[in-house]
Amino acid sequence: MQESDILGRIKDMVAAEHELRQKVETGQESSTEAAGQLRDLEVSLDQCWDLLRQRRAKREFGENPDEAAVRPAGEVEGYLQ
């Protein structure tokens, strides 16, 4: 997956997240139902951002960015800030 593909996917997921939040605010979607969907979107976004950072780091240090891989959700979500 190329960086442009990853960025496009991030853009699509952010749009979906905003749409879902808007639906909750307007009562078109229950917050209980949306909570799981939002969590899934957040995890997928974190994985995409992580993959993008991996690719950029590999390129910066002369490695092949195509060797970067999506890490499991538990690993990405377990990072300490």
Residue 4 predicted with pLDDT over 80: yes
DSSP conformational letter for 72: P
Structural domain range at position 43:
3-77
Count of structural domains, the chain: 1
Q: Which tens digit of pLDDT belongs to each residue from 29-75? A: 998 889 999 999 999 999 999 999 999 999 999 999 999 999 999 99
Q: Which tens digit of pLDDT belongs to each residue from 12-35? A: 999 999 999 999 999 999 988 899
Q: What is the dihedral of CA 38, 40, 43, 47, to 10 degrees?
A: -130
pLDDT at residue 60, as a whole number: 96
pLDDT at residue 81, as a whole number: 54
Per-residue tokens: 25: 């605010």
